[in-house]
Amino acid sequence: MILFLDFDGVLHPDPCPPEQLFVHAPRLAATLAEFPATGVVLSTSWRTFLTQAQLIALLPAVLQPLVLGVTPRFGEFRAPRALVPYRRHAECLQWVHTHGVDEAAWLALDDRPSWFAPYCEQLIACDARTGFDDDAAARLRYALARARRRLARAVDASL
């Protein structure tokens, strides 16, 4: 399972005073600890001015090894016409296609639902004012558990 991760409005409120940067990272780490087969791909806008190594260094040590990469920037690939208005969604799908990941095996934590196609089932939207709070953690936990059950059924069916 792949989790596309935004920073602003997710790992901390947006806007955010410096002392609150990444305040929700421990909550995310605790949630992902329950789902060890989940990899993280950074979809944050911060990737436009920081390297992947710099982005990873900002995260708590427990999250760092989970990071598999960063999404491409919208101008670096040709997006399907239907996704042109939904740039973050297109960036996530481009990463999925480039890395041969099942289109159903990803989720996104983001505070900007307008950057995703309407009714995108993979989006776990956070309130930018609060970020990844207990409610968002519960929704992510539910989505990951559901995906794990679906994948287990698929494996059982193939045996």
What's the CATH code of the domain at 107?
A: 3.40.50.1000
For residue 42, give its domain range: 2-158
**22-53 burial, b if ≥16 CB within 10 A, otherwise e?**
bebbebbbebbeebeebbbbbbbeebeeeeee
pLDDT tens per residue across all 159 residues of the chain: 999 999 999 999 999 999 999 999 999 999 999 999 999 999 999 999 999 999 999 999 999 999 999 999 998 989 889 999 999 999 999 999 999 998 889 999 999 999 999 999 999 999 999 999 999 999 999 999 998 888 778 777 777
CA-CA distances (angstroms) from residue 104 to 13, 93, 122, 148? 28, 10, 8, 11
Is the Cα dihedral 47, 120, 13, 37 positive or negative? negative
pLDDT of residue 159: 75
Number of folded domains that form the chain? 1
Structure tokens at 144: 């990951």
φ/ψ of 70, rounded to 5, equals -130, 155
